[in-house]
Amino acid sequence: ILNVEQSPQSLHVQEGDSTNFTCSFPSSNFYALHWYRWETAKSPEALFVMTLNGDEKKKGRISATLNTKEGYSYLYIKGSQPEDSATYLCAFNSGYSTLTFGKGTMLLVSP
């Protein structure tokens, strides 16, 4: 069983704050790293799929970086808004047919 760790478990910030979370994964046999956004009562939706060391991806105020050699990825949210409140999941693929998910970081953004 692959070990995918996310930190922090939860985070509470004020509107306008910038924040970041970490996903740690095995540095060997890397194939892809996924980030998903999961709103309460909805299903997870993909934010990014990253495959190359040094990848940086951006979607609006959200961006992610990838370091496959040391086994971590950061997700950044600039100027958090209440609608950013969700659980953010990362998932690791080592070249087989499945993803191993972390337990997620729960973000709450207060107005």
Partner 1 sequence: NAGVTQTPKFRVLKTGQSMTLLCAQDMNHEYMYWYRQDPGMGLRLIHYSVGEGTTAKGEVPDGYNVSRLKKQNFLLGLESAAPSQTSVYFCASSLAEGMNTEAFFGQGTRLTVV
Contacts with partner 1 by CB under 8 A lie at 1, 31-32, 34, 36, 42-46, 49, 51, 89, 91, 93, 95-104
Cβ proximity to partner 1, 69 vs 103, nearer residue: 103
Residue 32 C-beta: closest distance to partner 1, Å:
4
Cβ proximity to partner 1, 15 vs 31, nearer residue: 31
* Residue 34 β-bridge partners: 49, 91
66 backbone dihedrals φ, ψ, rounded to 5°: -140, 130
- d(C-alpha 45, C-alpha 39), whole Å: 9
Q: Is 35 helix (H, G, I), strand (E, B) or coil?
A: strand
Residue 70 C-beta: closest distance to partner 1, Å:
20
Close Cβ partners of 43 (under 8 Å, ≥ 6 residues apart): none
Cβ proximity to partner 1, 17 vs 63, nearer residue: 63
Residue 44 C-beta: closest distance to partner 1, Å:
5
Residue 86 C-beta: closest distance to partner 1, Å:
14
Dihedral over Cα of 96, 64, 70, 103: its sign: negative
Cβ proximity to partner 1, 4 vs 77, nearer residue: 4
* Residue 75 β-bridge partners: 21, 64
